[in-house]
Structure 1
C-alpha cells in the first residue's frame, strides 16, 4: 500500500527504508556528544547520526522544499521554493526518546509533511507518522484519508492494520513531568484518570502514544509550574502526533484547543500535549478551564 501523493510517498518510503539502518546503527552510539540541541538538551551520538541520515536523504527528494529537525537550529532549504504549492516541508524528530538508549528501552522517529513553510500550523499537514523501535519495528502513517499501521522489515512495509482507529473504550493512560511540578488543575484531572485507567508510561512519546492507539485512553505531557510552555516541540512532536491521533478518531489539545489549530511563533516552540479518546480530552479541557 502506498500514499497517493508521490512526493509524500517518497518521504514515507525513505523514512521506512532508513528505519532498519537507524535501528541497527544505534549499536555503539549510546553515548552523548559535547553539544546541545536547539532546545538545550544534551544530544546522544545516535541523535546526531539519525538526523544526518534522514536529513541527507529527505532533502534529496524532488518536491521537498524544506527539511527541519529537532537537532538543528534552523530550517534547511532543499532547493525548491517552500512557498510553491509543489514543495512540501518535512519536520522530523529523528530519535524520539533517545534518553532511553542508556537503559535500552523504546524509542522512535516522528515526522510530519507540511504543505506550508516552517514553522507551520498543524492543519497544514498532509501526512504525519512515526516509526516505533519496539520488539518489532512498526510504522504508523496518517493522511487525510486514513491511518495505517505497518511492520517494517528490510525497508519493506507490510500492512498490519488499515483504517486504524482508537478503541472506543479507554484502557490506559500516561502523564509526563514530575508530579510535584503539575499545576493544581491538572493534578485534579490526573487523580480522576488514575482511578479509572491503567498506567502505561515508558518515557518515550512514541511508545506512550502507541499504547493509546492500541488500547484507547490518553497520554499527556502537561504545562508544568516550572515550564508553563510545556516540554514537547510543536513542529516536530505536537503537530505530527496530534494529526495521527485526530485522524484515528481521537482528539489532541494543548489544554485549550486542538494542537493543529495553534499558530506557531518559532521553529522550536514548545507546547503542552494531550492526546486520546474524545471524552477524556473533553474532560481535560473542562477541568483546565
Structure 2
C-alpha cells in the first residue's frame, strides 16, 4: 500500500528506511547523557541520537515545514509555515520507552503528520503511526483511508495487513502510573477491568498499544494525584496514538473527550491517555464523570 499524498508517503518512507538503522544503532547507546529533555526526564544516549537522525532526514523533505520532537524544546522551522502554506508539520517521539533499553525490552518510534502549525489539535492530523522494535520490527501507519501494518527489514517494508481494526471482543488491558497515585474514580474502574481482561503491561506505550490493536482491550495512563495532567505528551504521543486507534475503529479519550479534540496550549503539553474498544472507553468516561 502506498500513501496517496506524496509528502506523507516520503515521511513514512523515510521513517521506514531509518527504522532498521535506529534499531541497529541502539547497540552501544544504552547509557544516559548529562542532560534532560524539555519534560525534565533524563535522556538516553539513544534518545538524542535517534532525534538527530530523524530530524535531519525529515526536515529535508520538500513539503515538511516544521519538525518537532519530544527531545527538543522548540519547533524547528524547516520550510514553509504550515499555518500559511500547504506544508505539513511532523511531530516525533524518536524513541518511546527508551527506559527499557537497560533491560532490553520493547520500545518504538511514534510520529504524527499535522496539516497545521504546531502545537495543533489531533483533528488536524493527516497521518500518524509508529514503529515497534519488538522481536520483529513493524510499522503501523494510519491515514484517513485505512490503518495498515508492515514488517520492516533492510530499509524495506512488506505489507502484513491492509486494514487493521481493533478486535470486537476485548482481551487485554494495561494501566500506567503507580496504583497508590491513581484517583479513586479511576481505581474503581481499573478494578472492574482487572476482573474481566488479562494484564499486559510492558512499560513502553508502543508495545502496550500494539497489544490493544492486536487483541482488543484498553490501555490507559490516567491523570494521577501527583500529576493531574498525566504523563504522556499530547503532540508526540497522545494525538498520534489516538488517531491510529480511532482510525482502526476504537476510541481515544483524555477522560472526558477524544484526545483529538483537546486544544493544546504548549508544544510539550501533557494529557491523560486512554485508548481501546468503544465500550471500555465509554465506561471509563462514565466512571470519571
1:46 — aligned with what? 46
Query: Does structure 1 conserve the Cα–Cα contact (< 8 Å) formed by 2:81 and 2:117?
Result: no
**Structure 1, unpaired ranges of 5+:** none
Q: Is the 8 A contact 1:208 1:219 kept in 2?
A: yes
Tell me if 1:8 matches 2:5.
Answer: no
Q: After TM superposition, give the deviation of residue 85 of structure 1 in Å.
A: 3.8
* 2:79 is aligned with 1:68: no
SS at match of 2:82: coil
2:249 aligns with 249
Q: State how many pairs are aligned.
A: 289
Distance 1:91 1:204 in 2: 18
Which residue is 2:158 aligned to?
158
Q: Could you tell me whether the CA contact under 8 Å between 1:173 and 1:219 is conserved in 2?
A: yes
Runs of 4+ more than 3 Å apart: none
Contact residue 85 and residue 115 of structure 1 kept, 8 A: no
Aligned-residue offset at 1:169: 0.0
Shift in Å, 1:36? 0.1
User: Contact 2:63/2:79 (CA < 8 Å) preserved in 1?
Assistant: no
Aligned counterpart, 1:116? 116
Secondary structure of residue in 2 paired with 1:265: coil
- Give 3-state SS (helix, strand or coil) of 2:4's partner: coil
Partners of 2:79 and 2:163 in 1: CA distance:
35
2:139 counterpart of 1:139: yes
The corresponding residue for 1:260 is 260
RMSD: 0.5
Residue 167 of structure 1 aligns to a residue whose secondary structure is coil
2:173–2:219 Cα contact (<8 Å) kept:
yes
Name the SS of the counterpart of 2:280 in structure 1: helix
TM normalised by structure 2 equals 1.00
Distance 2:169 2:86 in 1: 41
Structure 1 CA distance, aligned partners of 2:261 and 2:82? 21
Counterpart contact for 1:250–1:275, Cα < 8 Å = yes
Q: Unaligned 5+ residue runs, structure 2?
A: none
Per-residue deviation, 1:86? 1.6
Q: After superposition, what is the alpha-carbon deviation per residue over 1:97-145, rounded to whole angstroms, capped at 9, x for unaligned?
A: 0000000000000000000000000000000000000000000000000
CA contact (8 A) 1:170 1:217 kept: yes
The residue matched to 1:158 in structure 2 has which SS?
strand
Aligned counterparts of 1:280 and 1:250: Cα–Cα separation in 2: 10
| Correspondence for 2:96 | 96
- The 5-angstrom pairing of residues 127-276 of structure 1 reads 127-276=127-276
The reply to whether residue 107 of structure 1 matches residue 86 of structure 2 is no
Cα distance in 2 for residues equivalent to 1:172 and 1:81: 42
1:80 is displaced (CA, Å) by 1.6
